[in-house]
Amino acid sequence: MASINIDLARKSGSIDRNIYGGFIEQLGRCVYGGIYEENSPLSDEHGYRKDVMAAVRDLRTPLLRWPGGNFVSGYHWTDGIGPVENRPPQMELAWHSTESNRFGTDEFMDYCRTMNVEPYICVNMGTGTMDEARTWVEYCNGTGNTYWANLRRKNGHEEPYNVKYWGLGNEVYGTWQIGAMTPEDYVKKATEFAKIMKWTDPSIKLVGCGDTGWKDWDDIVIPGLAQYIDYYSLHLYTGSDDYYSNVLAPALADFALESSRAIIDRARYNQKIEHPIYIAYDEWNVWYRKRAAETALEERYNLSDALAVSSFLNSFIRHSDTVKLANLAQMVNVIAPIFTSPEGLFLQTIYHPLRLFAEHMQDIALDIHVESESLPFTQEQDKSPYGFPFASLGPFKILDASATCDASGKTVTIAVVNRHREQDLSTTLKFADNVTIESAYAYEVNGDNPNSENDFEQPNEVSIQEHHLHSGEQDITYTFPAHSLTLLRLQ
Ligand code: AHR
């Protein structure tokens, strides 16, 4: 028996819908053959896959990060504008392929407009110069009679794109990155990029390049860049073939958010910084199987991965005062919820929690208290290939949950992951006030077993089942099935 205690007066933060953001990188079949496939019968006149657009729309994606990822650290954006036939194919050294440059800034902006999503561009701090970053801002946002704004006009785009979010480089700390640096060198270089980009358009929001949130890099870069940045990025990939190592590892997101929040608070206090600095979790997901470029990162997801993704989302809701932007890496084919072939697509298991959270979670996060037994998971059982000693963050309760309500307090939604592999768990939802529930729905993501996957032949092995519950009651008792996500919507 377990309980979830809900007090509508205990509001813990307002949720920014940008936490449901996506990410497309010029890598493998994410852009080419994913969102963009010219001359396909499934595409519109611009080359955008219509079936993919429909699936993305159902995810209610508010924001899209582009063009990388590792790719951006060797990308010269001017190669991707102007008449397509004049664009130079280039060697692509992040993933060792060839970049045709058929999809560039104008195509990305056009896609964002069509999909009604906010663009988020990460600049090249590897082979790229300050001037390239600055002129990219001017090309996108310039309103004056200047060369780069006029070039955008000449390319058929009279109105500025008003790109608000700009990332200062990608994973600059990693040896795998083109142009990797020490944190001290990054602070120096990023400061100069930040100044000139903001002078070009003072309205933009800058995202500093963070590591996991608990590394020495973060200790140096956060105070070093605090004056200039509005967001600080974190990246986290988890995963394991071992069920519990897989579903419990997103506890690292809680740790990362609390750890980086503390560094930000200290930097803002010490430096008397008045503007807020939020976390942009601009790459997160389960990713451990298809690591190599040769497999084009085409990870296939099972039910346990969907549970891990649900716990990431729970963590973002629980820390909604800290994390105001997040991008699932990535959107299509490459470590992605949507998987295409030239003939169609199927939705991977991880698609379903993303859809449920974006559709049902409300604007205000609630500080709920969960009482449930813990799972007996120790350091020795941790089979995660990443080497982050996350078991020390335990004990881990069987239930992982987050809750939200709307401004009137009339709609309450609770996302509950029952992480037990075998046991269903009967749970009482206890409300602090006398709340009478008029209607209650449960949306469940589950499958035969934690290894269940979807594919082209069996696309619905893991899907969303909807149940209508009894209503007119004050407390509700609900049994959360083993290895499931349940999103309860109460009104
Ligand atoms: O999302 C795949 C890759 O993971 C990105 O290119 C990089 O930023 C990260 O290492």
pLDDT score, position 440: 92
Model pLDDT, residue 163? 98
Residue with structure tokens 């996991």?
212
Helix 351-360 vs helix 303-318: crossing angle, to nearest 10: 30
Residue 264 in contact with residue 227, Cβ under 8 Å? no
E-strand ranges in 61-128 read: 63-66, 90-92, 97-99, 118-122
The Cα–Cα gap between 393 and 373 comes to 16
pLDDT tens per residue, range 83-114:
999 999 999 999 999 999 999 999 999 999 99
CATH 3.40.1280.10 matches 3-7+366-490: no
Question: Is 283 in the active site?
Answer: yes
Output helix, strand, coil percentages for the chain, rounded to the nearest 5: 30, 25, 45
Residue 69: asked if its preceding bond is cis (omega within 30°), the reply is yes
Q: In testing the pocket of ligand 1, which one of 70, 172, 211 has its CB within 8 Å of the most ligand atoms?
A: 70
Which residues lie across from 370 on neighbouring strands? 4
Of the residues 283, 299, 438, 473, only one is catalytic, namely 283
Residue boundaries of the structural domains of the chain: 3-7+366-490, 15-363
The pLDDT score that the predictor gives to residue 224 is: 98
**Per-residue model confidence (pLDDT) at position 386:** 87
Q: Is 69 in the pocket of ligand 1 (CB under 6 A)?
A: yes
Task: Determine whether 98 is exposed, middle or buried from the number of CB atoms within 10 Å of its CB (0-12, 13-18, 19+).
Answer: exposed
Predicted pLDDT at 472:
66
Say if CB 286 and CB 305 are below 8 A apart.
yes
Q: Whose CA is closest to atom 5 on ligand 1? A: 69
Residue 469: per-residue pLDDT: 87
pLDDT at 473: 67
CATH 3.40.605.10 corresponds to the domain 15-363: no
Low-confidence ranges of the chain (pLDDT < 50): none
Determine if ligand 1 sits within 6 Å of the CB of residue 92.
Answer: no
- Express each pLDDT in 404-461 by its tens digit: 999 999 999 999 999 999 999 999 999 998 788 888 999 999 999 999 999 999 999 9
**Residue 203 alpha carbon to ligand 1 centre in Å:** 28
Q: Which residue has the tokens 């075998």?
A: 422
Distance between CA atoms of 260 and 35, rounded to whole angstroms?
A: 33
